[in-house]
Amino acid sequence: MSICDTCGNDYDKAFTVTFSDGRTATFDSVECAAVELAPACAHCGCRILGHGIETEDAMFCCAHCARKSSNADVNDRWPVPAGA
């Protein structure tokens, strides 16, 4: 069995991620992997599991957070709904 680097659980179905520089990390779930590997939104702190929105200074989970924390002129979809 392998021990998860995030939560310490000893789990027989854990998996190992190998990075391009040769480092490895072991996780017992995708959730634990996301906690350690996914960037956090600079506004709300949630983990960014998709493309997110990137500005010159930070990464955000969505256009709403990017607009709230920066002067980014971004939207989650096109056309922009009325009142958004």
pLDDT of residue 83: 65
Query: How big is the CA angle at 29 (ends 13 and 17), to the nearest 5 degrees?
Result: 80
Tens of pLDDT, residues 14-52: 999 999 999 999 999 999 999 999 999 999 999 999 999
84 pLDDT higher than 60: no
Would 66 be classed as within a structural domain? yes
**Predicted TM-score of the model (pTM):** 0.75
pLDDT band at residue 1 under the 50/70/90 scheme: confident
| Residue 72: per-residue pLDDT | 83
Give domain status of residue 14, yes or no: yes
For residue 15, the SS3 value is strand
Tokens 């010159």 correspond to: 56
17 & 33 share domain: yes
Which residue type sits at 75? Answer: N
When divided into structural domains, the chain yields a total of 2
Residue 12 CA to residue 33 CA, distance in Å, equals 16
Residues 47 and 72 in one domain: yes
- Beta strand 2-3 with 15-18 is unpaired
Question: Would you give the distance in Å from CA 25 to the centre of its chain?
Answer: 16
